[in-house]
Amino acid sequence: MLEWLAVTSLAYPPPLHDGVVRLRPWRDTDLSCVEQASQDPRIPQGTTVPAHYTTEAGLTYIARQHARLTSGQGVALAITHQHTDQAIGHINLIARPQQGVAGIGYWIVPDARRQGIASRAISLTTTWGLSPGNFARIEAWVEPDNHASQRALEINGYLQEGRLRSFLTFGTRRADVLVYSRITADTQR
Ligand SMILES: CC(C)(COP(=O)(O)OP(=O)(O)OC[C@H]1O[C@@H](n2cnc3c(N)ncnc32)[C@H](O)[C@@H]1OP(=O)(O)O)[C@@H](O)C(=O)NCCC(=O)NCCS
C-alpha cells in the first residue's frame, strides 16, 4: 500500500530548523507573539488569532493550536528565531477531507516580515509534510492581492492551479482565492 494513503498518527514533527528559523510547538510564554498578530489588520480576519487581545484570549489561542493535534485536525507550530527562540509567527498543516491532502496556513508578525521567514518556514513544513507517511498533497488558498504569500509559495515550488471565485468569507466579505499546491511527485522531480 502506498505510504501516503493514510496519515495514521499525527504527531509533532522532529526538530525542524535551518540555522535561522526553528519550528516548534506553541508555548504559553509565546503570548507577545499572539498579541502582535492580533494587532495586524489581516491576521485575525483569516485565522483564529483574537482581534481583541487579552491574556485569556491569547492562552486560548495557544491551547487551540495543541488541540489541533490531539483532535487529529492537523499540526500547528510556532515559527521562532532559531537563536533566541522568540516566536515570530505561526504555520500549520490541517488535514482536508480528501485523503492525504493538507492545507497550509501561516502568518508572520509585522516586525519580522520581509526577512524570508515565511519562505523558510514553508520550506521546512513542506519538506516534512510531503515526506513518507505524511501527506501526498499540500495546498494553499491565497487571496489574489496577497502577493507576499503567493511569492513565498512560488519560491518553494508551489504551482498555481486556478482561481476559486467567491470561495472564502472574511466577516461579511466574500473573496476569491488562488489555489497553489505541491505534491510528492514534485518533490521527486
Ligand atoms: C504573507 C506573509 C506570511 C509573508 O511573510 P514574510 O516573512 O514577510 O515573507 P518572506 O519574507 O518570506 O517573503 C516572501 C517573498 O514575498 C516578497 N514579499 C514580501 N512582502 C511583500 C509585499 N508586501 N509585497 C510583495 N512582495 C512581498 C518577498 O520579497 C519575497 O520574495 P523574494 O524572495 O522574491 O524577494 C506575511 O506578510 C503575513 O503574515 N501576512 C499576513 C497573513 C497572511 O497573509 N498569511 C498568508 C495567508 S495565505
> 113: Cβ below 6 Å to ligand 1?
yes
How many angstroms separate the alpha carbon of residue 108 from the centre of ligand 1? 9
The verdict on residue 101 lying in a domain is yes
* Strand ranges (E), the chain: 16-17, 21-24, 74-81, 87-95, 101-108, 137-142, 159-170, 173-183
| Percentage of the chain modeled with pLDDT above 70 | 94
What is the b/e burial string over 165-178, where b = at least 16 CB atoms within 10 angstroms of the residue's CB? eeeeeeeeeebebb
The verdict on residue 8 lying in a domain is no
How many angstroms separate the alpha carbon of residue 9 from the centre of ligand 1? 32
List, for residues 76-110, the tens digit of each pLDDT value: 999 999 999 999 999 999 999 999 999 999 999 99
Q: How many Å is the maximal CA-CA distance in the chain?
A: 48
> 72: Cβ below 6 Å to ligand 1?
no
How many angstroms separate the alpha carbon of residue 151 from the centre of ligand 1? 7
Is it the case that residue 7 has pLDDT exceeding 80?
no
- Long-range pairs, 161-168, Cβ under 8 A, ≥24: 167/141, 168/46, 168/141, 168/143
What is the band of 159 on the pLDDT scale with cuts at 50, 70, 90? Answer: very high
How many angstroms separate the alpha carbon of residue 153 from the centre of ligand 1? 9
Distances (CA, A) of 159 to 138, 148, 186: 11, 15, 10
The verdict on residue 2 lying in a domain is no
Measured from the Cα of 40, ligand 1's closest atom is 41
Residue 149's CATH number: 3.40.630.30
How many angstroms separate the alpha carbon of residue 84 from the centre of ligand 1? 22
Q: How many domains does the chain have?
A: 1
> 66: Cβ below 6 Å to ligand 1?
no
Measured from the Cα of 150, ligand 1's closest atom is 16
How many angstroms separate the alpha carbon of residue 70 from the centre of ligand 1? 30
| Substitution candidate for ligand 1 out of 107, 156, 176 with most atoms within 8 A of CB | 107
Cα–Cα distance, 10 to 75 (Å, whole number): 7
The verdict on residue 23 lying in a domain is yes
Q: What sign results for the dihedral spanned by CA atoms 60, 23, 88, 90? A: negative
DSSP three-state, residue 171? coil
29 lies in which domain range? 18-188
List, for residues 34-70, the tens digit of each pLDDT value: 999 999 999 999 999 999 999 999 999 999 999 999 9
pTM score of the predicted model: 0.95
The verdict on residue 59 lying in a domain is yes
The verdict on residue 83 lying in a domain is yes
The verdict on residue 159 lying in a domain is yes
**160, 180 contact by CB (below 8 A):** yes
Instruction: Give nearest CA residue, ligand 1 atom 17.
Output: 148
The verdict on residue 7 lying in a domain is no
